[in-house]
């Protein structure tokens, strides 16, 4: 255990050395531990954006709850979307332990200073998209989040463990929709293929820019906020998806895909990075709609927040009266 006594007079450089030693020894950093401000800020950035992604991510699927093809599918989709809300809540709470309020995080989202995953700015046009999102989007999220279960910040790591369990279920429900469509009528199979074609490349973009272009990776890897790089995680996802596409009997959207014996991985075609940057800078198909919808829901919910605050105040006053 790295367990040296820290006092108010411990110099900053010594604090940083002890902090890094703790991380190198695979000990978790907890909310009350000393941490460099840049570590705190980087975590607030990544974790709050992760929370926003979960919450904004409810919109593309929420769009299909009333149009799900059966009561069973409706119930499953409804509970999946509710799970995403739960993930957002755990992550907002975990981020609050770093000294930022939920209201500040929401303002950053609504004013465009904080990002959320680019994938949620693509429209959901068909029922097949519910399959593709569960399978590919949740599948990509799991690849990333399994490695984040070992992230150095305790509250983030613990929230990831629970979230990953639920995401595995989400991934399976999406793949099951794809199996049914891909083995259904020719029209259903074409729908599955179309959804795969539209969601495959944006799913690869979920892992972020190439390592050489990634602004935060080097520091995040040193501090073990990130445990694997953007490109390594993307490669894992590319490799695992090939046999899944084969099993569905669908065509792979990447025509340049090729097994590389030497690397033991698939080589893949180029990602359209202009599209990626255009989407993360606010110009995807649905960016404006997603934020407008969030703002409206937030404003419609003011009465709930006010009622909760009034109730809490009354409770405090009652307790104070009883104690007097």
224 binds ligand BYC (CB under 6 A): no
Structure tokens at 163: 């979230």
Do 138 and 117 contact (CB within 8 A), yes or no? no
Tell me how far apart the terminal alpha carbons of the chain are, to the nearest angstrom. Answer: 46
Is residue 291 at the binding interface for ligand BYC, with CB under 6 A as the rule? no
Residue closer to ligand BYC, measured from CB, 29 or 205: 205
The CA–CA distances, whole Å, from 271 to 159, 279, 283, 284 equal: 31, 13, 17, 16
Does residue 216 touch ligand BYC according to CB under 6 A?
A: yes
Please identify, using beta-carbon distances, which residue of 247 and 273 lies nearer to ligand BYC.
273
E strand segments, the chain: 258-260, 265-267
Query: Is residue 228 near ligand BYC by the rule CB under 6 A?
Result: no
**234 near 136, Cβ under 8 Å?**
no
Q: Establish if 144 lies at the interface with ligand BYC (CB under 6 A).
A: yes
10 Å CB burial of residue 311 (0-12, 13-18, 19+) is exposed
> Which residue from 181, 205, 286, 291 is in contact with ligand BYC, where contact means CB under 6 A?
205
Enumerate residues 37-96 that contact ligand BYC by CB under 6 A. 45-46, 49-50, 53-54, 57, 84
State the minimum distance, in angstroms, from the CB of residue 206 to ligand BYC. 5
Closer residue to ligand BYC (CB): 137 or 238: 137
Judged by beta carbon, residue 189 or residue 201, the one nearer ligand BYC is 201
- Cβ contacts of 199 within 8 Å, gap of 6 or more: 119, 122, 129, 132, 133, 136, 137
- Asked if 56 contacts 120 with a C-beta cutoff of 8 angstroms, the reply is yes
Residue choice 29, 68, 117, 250 for contact with ligand BYC (CB under 6 A):
117
Sequence length of the chain is: 324
- Following CA atoms 245, 243, 269, 181 in sequence, which dihedral angle do they give, to the nearest 10 degrees? 0
Q: Least distance (Å) from ligand BYC to the CB of residue 289?
A: 16
Q: Cβ distance 205 to 118 under 8 Å?
A: yes
For ligand BYC, how many residues bind (rule: CB under 6 A)? 28
The C-alpha R_g of the chain, in whole angstroms, comes to 22
The least distance separating ligand BYC from the CB of residue 163, rounded to whole angstroms, comes to 8
Nearer to ligand BYC, 171 or 193 (CB): 171
CB of 230 to ligand BYC, least distance (A): 5
C-beta neighbour count of 157 within 10 angstroms: 18
The nearer residue to ligand BYC, 83 or 190, going by C-beta atoms, is: 83
CB of 172 to ligand BYC, least distance (A): 13
Residue 229 interacts with ligand BYC (CB under 6 A): yes or no = no
Give yes or no for residue 151 binding ligand BYC (CB under 6 A). no
* 115 is a site residue for ligand BYC (CB under 6 A): yes
C-beta separation of 142 from 117 below 8 A: no
Task: List interacting residues with ligand BYC (CB under 6 A).
Answer: 45-46, 49-50, 53-54, 57, 84, 115, 117-118, 137-138, 141, 144, 205-209, 214-217, 220, 226, 230, 280
């Amino acid at each position: 255990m790295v367990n040296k006594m820290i006092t108010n007079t411990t110099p900053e450089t010594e604090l940083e050395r002890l902090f890094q030693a703790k991380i190198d020894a695979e000990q978790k950093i907890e909310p009350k531990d000393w941490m460099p401000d840049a570590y705190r800020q980087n975590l607030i950035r990544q974790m709050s954006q992760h929370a926003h992604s979960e919450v904004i991510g409810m919109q593309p699927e929420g769009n299909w709850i009333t149009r799900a093809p059966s009561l069973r599918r409706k119930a499953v989709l409804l509970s999946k979307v509710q799970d995403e809300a739960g993930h957002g809540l755990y992550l907002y709470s975990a981020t609050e332990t770093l000294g930022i309020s939920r209201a500040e995080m929401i303002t950053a989202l609504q004013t465009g200073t904080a990002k959320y995953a680019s994938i949620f700015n693509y429209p959901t046009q068909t029922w097949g998209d519910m399959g593709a999102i569960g399978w590919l989007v949740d599948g990509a999220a799991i690849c990333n989040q399994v490695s984040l279960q070992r992230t150095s910040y305790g509250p983030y790591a613990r929230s990831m463990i629970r979230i990953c369990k639920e995401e595995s279920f989400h991934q399976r429900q999406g793949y099951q929709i794809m199996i049914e469509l891909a083995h259904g009528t020719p029209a259903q199979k074409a729908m599955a293929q179309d959804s795969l074609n539209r969601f495959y490349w944006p799913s690869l973009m979920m892992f972020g820019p190439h390592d050489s272009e990634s602004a935060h990776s080097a520091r995040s890897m040193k501090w073990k906020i990130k445990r694997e790089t953007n490109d390594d995680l993307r490669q894992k996802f590319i490799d695992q998806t090939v046999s899944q596409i084969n099993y569905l009997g669908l065509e792979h959207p990447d025509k340049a895909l090729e097994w590389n014996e030497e690397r033991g991985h698939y080589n893949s075609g180029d990602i359209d990075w202009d599209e990626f940057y255009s989407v993360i800078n606010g110009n995807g198909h649905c960016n404006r709609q997603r934020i407008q919808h969030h703002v409206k829901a937030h404003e419609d919910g003011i009465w709930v927040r006010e009622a909760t605050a009034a109730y809490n105040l009354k409770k405090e006053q009652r307790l104070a009266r009883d104690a007097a």
